[in-house]
Amino acid sequence: MSRFEKKFILNPIYISQFRADLFRQGYRKIFKDRTVNSVYFDDTNLNSYYENINGLSKRTKFRLRFYSEIFEGEGFWEQKIKHADTNYKKVQKYCGEVVPLIQLQFPMKEQLMPLVHVQYSREYYYSEKTAVRVTIDSSIKFINLKNSISCPHNELVVEYKSSVNNPVKNVPKILSNLSRSSKYCKAISVHGFASELY
């Protein structure tokens, strides 16, 4: 299913104010906070990375996503496809061996290799009135799979998600700056995989 996604950067000092704004607007928590892990794959030319930083209207990211503190052999292969202002995913369940993340192989994509692991804590909110979901990502870490070096990221990422026929409205003013905020691209840039920085 295609959906709109709008991402924003939030200064951590405003997190209490932002949560209060969400509750005033009728949002409620729908899940417990959980750890999200994404292992991102790219080819030797970093085509997925450059599709993003060059702003191509249609681009794809390849990742394995799992929701445990450590990889336990379960997760989801995802191709996240962006077309213009909408996104959709192709998802395939993974249930297999527990191997080092650097040894994973994306299905049917032999040219891709795992490069970075992004880990963060996610909060989930939903408004029944507007049918909009909001997530808040914190404690973000960018991990280089080649040498296991981990770099923390202190900003918070807020994402509004809605169906394509349901535009997002009433975004709090402290989120006035819309950001592409690709965690994958930031991880690639932070760890020096690309000559052109994100």
The predicted model gives 172-177 an average pLDDT of 76
Highest mean pLDDT among 2-16, 18-32, 51-65 belongs to 18-32
Residue 12, C-beta contacts closer than 8 angstroms, at least 6 positions apart? 138, 154, 155, 156
Say what the pLDDT of residue 198 is. Answer: 83
Say what the pLDDT of residue 6 is. Answer: 87
Q: How many residues does the chain have?
A: 198
pLDDT band, residue 178 (cuts 50/70/90) = low
Cβ atoms of residues 119 and 143 within 8 Å: yes
Rounded CA separation 46/69 (Å): 28
Say what the pLDDT of residue 173 is. Answer: 80
> Is the pLDDT confidence value at 123 over 80?
yes
DSSP string, 57-119: SEEEEEEEEE-SSS--SEEEEEEEEEETTEEEEEEEEEE-----GGG---TT-TT-EEEEEEE
Residue 102, C-beta contacts closer than 8 angstroms, at least 6 positions apart? 114, 145, 146
When mean pLDDT is compared across 27-31, 80-84, 99-103, 157-161, the lowest value belongs to 80-84
Rounded CA separation 47/28 (Å): 39
- The overall average pLDDT reported for the chain is 92
Cβ atoms of residues 76 and 90 within 8 Å: no
> pTM for the complete prediction?
0.93
Alpha carbon of residue 154 to chain centroid: 15
